[in-house]
Chain A
Amino acid sequence: MADPIRMRIARDGDVATVKVLMPHPMETGLRKDPITEQIVPMHFIQRVVATLNGTPVLDANWSRSVSKNPFLEFRVRPARAGDVVAIAWEDNRGESARAEAVIK
């Protein structure tokens, strides 16, 4: 199982900036393993959904061109202390992960 999603939220008034790191290899399917010289199969996050208090605010589709261990930043508004931001991803193999954080 991959490392957990890391999320950092900074609130300024009614806007909260959410920064997310999602540990994932994001293999393009074009890279050769330097030792085995075999092509490493494509393996990438293709869907990311962010919710605010359970309601989707961002729904993303990604290609294999997003960097390894993807970084994503977005802003939610209106944001209040105690609101809950959740992130969920699903990759091209059907693997998934989810995390949530409370806005301070």
Chain B
Amino acid sequence: MTPTPLPRPLRRRVVAWLAAACLLPLRALGFERNPGFVPTSIDAALAAAGMDGAIESEAIVLKAPDVAENSAIVHVEITSTLPDTEFIYLFAEKNPQPMVAEFRRLPGMDPFVAVRIKMAESAHLRAVVRAGGRFYYRRQETRVTLGGCAG
């Protein structure tokens, strides 16, 4: 005996639901990749990400070593005390593609992230914060002593 097939519209809904469930949670927010990841210079990356008008702000704390012994593992911490911090971005200005990371902060997370990155050569690191719809930034120079890692 063959099982009774589900009525068509219902079956379609079940299939659609299963397909959607498979993609959760990574695509649940419908979040597009920032165009700032593509350019190969810091100025072009900032322009592509719409951050060229960012204001320098000491309300952002960018903690990274002045001298990194291993350019493949540079520990970076970013804290924002700007009200309504929505996004935190990190750039290594001389990497082949300077935009390293974009962190979208949602309710339930403090405006802080730490991450380890690769640096192609000694360069300024730049933290950019979007708060209340506006961009702010803070820079700090990190020298790498061992040769670049082409990263």
Binding site for B on A (CB under 8 A): 15, 26, 28, 30-31, 46-47, 49-52, 55-68, 70-78, 86, 88, 90, 96
Contacts and interface: CB of A to CB of B under 8 A. Distances in A.
Interface residues of B, number: 39
Given A49-B29, A74-B114, A90-B26, 6 more contacts: A28-B96, A58-B104, A61-B101, A63-B99, A65-B101, A73-B77
A47 B101 contact: no
A80 to B, nearest CB: 12
Given A61-B33, A76-B109, A76-B110, A66 B104 contact: no
B110 A77 contact: yes
Nearest to B72: A67
B31 interface: yes
A76 B108 contact: yes
A58 B112 CA distance: 11
B104 A59 contact: yes
B117 A88 contact: no
Given A59-B31, A67-B72, A77 B108 contact: yes
B101 A60 contact: yes
Contact of B109 (A58, A66, A88): A58
Interface string B34-70: 1001000000000000000000000000000000000
Contact of B25 (A15, A56, A72, A77): A56
B112 A75 contact: yes
Contacts of B116: 66-67, 70-71
- The list of the 4 closest CB pairs from A to B, nearest first, reads A73-B114, A57-B108, A75-B110, A57-B109
21 contacts: A28-B151, A30-B151, A55-B106, A57-B108, A60-B102, A60-B103, A61-B31, A63-B37, A63-B100, A65-B95, A66-B115, A66-B116, A66-B117, A70-B115, A72-B114, A72-B115, A73-B77, A73-B114, A74-B103, A74-B113, A75-B109
B143 interface: no
A30 to B, nearest CB: 4
B97 interface: yes
B70 to A, nearest CB: 9
Nearest to A73: B114
Nearest to A79: B108
Given A31-B150, A49-B26, A65 B100 contact: yes
A56 B106 contact: yes
